[in-house]
Amino acid sequence: MNSPIIAVLAGGTSAEREVSLGSGKAAALALAYTHPTEFFVVDEDAVPAGLDPRRHVVFSALHGVFGEDGGMQRLLEEAGFSYAGCDAKGSDLCFDKWRTRQAVSAMGVRVAPGRNFDARTKPTGAQLAAELGEQVVLKPNREGSSVGLQIISTRAGLDIALAGLRQGDWVAEKRIFGRELTVGLLRGRAMGVVEITPKSGVFDYTSKYTKGLTEYTAPAPLSQEVTDEVRRAAETAFAACGCRDYARVDFMLSAEGGLYLLEINTLPGMKETSLLPMSARCVGLDFNALCRELVAPALERFAAAHTRK
């Protein structure tokens, strides 16, 4: 059997198209050192023309809606492709922030007090303040990469933010003050913990993707006890949500020492300076080696499937 071609998918139709293109180009260049690799730009919600499940193993660098919400994954499964990353079911669950909260909290991972609501039946500012306080994090339930994130610090701000919600499914959470941490996982095992320190105090879309607005420390300056706690919680969350191959899990460590899950990212950014590669470097994996590890389980599934045939 000839070695399969790694098909790197990037672009997509979400708000994160440009970020995805950067991730895909970086991953494709890294994979090309050791694997025959082709780069596909996705311009519609469909599997790109020219892909063949008998010849290609898919590595998706798509982000956001249709990229990491299970949409592309479902099409790949229906067409018989082996592909890297979480399957359609796990991707769909992790893209839904509220369902993720429910799944991980059932396994003992702490989440901030919160509420899920539809914009058409949204609570009043008074109701939300009574339930969660005036310091609230408001975000779309099914979006990626901090898209639509709002940090609200006053009752008046809460009223204004809620008034602006016209449609969609939303999550409101009590704001946790402390240190933001993230950890990458390979085959369900946690790698290094990275600390994220946005200069604005909020790791929103602008802070994430504007050079110089955020500082990163890898590994995070934590005690061994706290580091171990973060890694265990990440591994528990990964398993609780049925993740596969790899993911990145984000947390907030409160000033009182409580660890709270923020979200699970099943297709994290893949530039060399992105958070998953930072986490991998903490355990001795450079960017090229990381990319090889990310695609390895899909290559194993491809080999197993074609050996059976």
> What would the pLDDT profile of 78-89 be if each residue is shown by its tens digit?
999 999 999 999
Query: What local confidence, expressed as pLDDT, does residue 75 receive?
Result: 98
Active site (annotated) includes residue 265: yes
Query: What local confidence, expressed as pLDDT, does residue 143 receive?
Result: 83
Active site (annotated) includes residue 33: no
Q: What is the mean pLDDT of residues 270-291?
A: 96
Query: What local confidence, expressed as pLDDT, does residue 44 receive?
Result: 96
Choose, from 60, 141, 265, 274, the residue flagged as catalytic: 265
Choose, from 11, 263, 274, 279, the residue flagged as catalytic: 263
Query: What local confidence, expressed as pLDDT, does residue 2 receive?
Result: 73
The chain-wide mean pLDDT, for the chain, equals 94
What does the pLDDT look like over 162-191, one tens digit per residue?
999 999 999 999 999 999 999 999 999 999
- Listed in order, the ranges of the chain carrying CATH 3.40.50.20 are 5-85+288-308
Residue 207's pLDDT band (cuts 50, 70, 90):
low
Q: What is the mean pLDDT of residues 47-61?
A: 97
Residue 98's pLDDT band (cuts 50, 70, 90):
very high
Query: What local confidence, expressed as pLDDT, does residue 213 receive?
Result: 75
Active site (annotated) includes residue 17: no
Query: What local confidence, expressed as pLDDT, does residue 15 receive?
Result: 86
Choose, from 20, 250, 279, 281, the residue flagged as catalytic: 250
Question: Which CATH topology does 94-110+177-285 take?
Answer: D-amino Acid Aminotransferase; Chain A, domain 1 (3.30.470)
Answer whether residue 205 shows pLDDT above 70.
Answer: no
Residue 273's pLDDT band (cuts 50, 70, 90):
confident
Choose, from 45, 74, 195, 209, the residue flagged as catalytic: 209
Answer whether residue 208 shows pLDDT above 70.
Answer: no
Active site (annotated) includes residue 180: no
Choose, from 141, 269, 274, 279, the residue flagged as catalytic: 269
What does the pLDDT look like over 220-252, one tens digit per residue?
999 999 999 999 999 999 999 999 999 999 999
Active site (annotated) includes residue 248: yes
Query: What local confidence, expressed as pLDDT, does residue 204 receive?
Result: 64
Percentage above 70 pLDDT, the chain? 94
Question: Which CATH topology does 5-85+288-308 take?
Answer: Rossmann fold (3.40.50)
- Listed in order, the ranges of the chain carrying CATH 3.30.1490.20 are 114-174
Choose, from 11, 14, 16, 180, the residue flagged as catalytic: 16
Domain 114-174 of CATH type 3.30.1490.20:
yes
Residue 7, φ and ψ in degrees, nearest 5: -100, 110
Q: Which residue has the higher pLDDT, 261 or 214?
A: 261
Q: What is the mean pLDDT of residues 53-78?
A: 96
Active site (annotated) includes residue 16: yes
Answer whether residue 198 shows pLDDT above 90.
Answer: no
What does the pLDDT look like over 114-150, one tens digit per residue?
999 999 999 999 999 999 999 999 999 998 767 788 9
Active site (annotated) includes residue 82: no
Choose, from 248, 260, 274, 279, the residue flagged as catalytic: 248
What does the pLDDT look like over 9-48, one tens digit per residue?
999 999 889 999 999 999 999 999 999 999 999 999 999 9
Q: Which residue has the higher pLDDT, 202 or 256?
A: 256
Residue 206's pLDDT band (cuts 50, 70, 90):
low
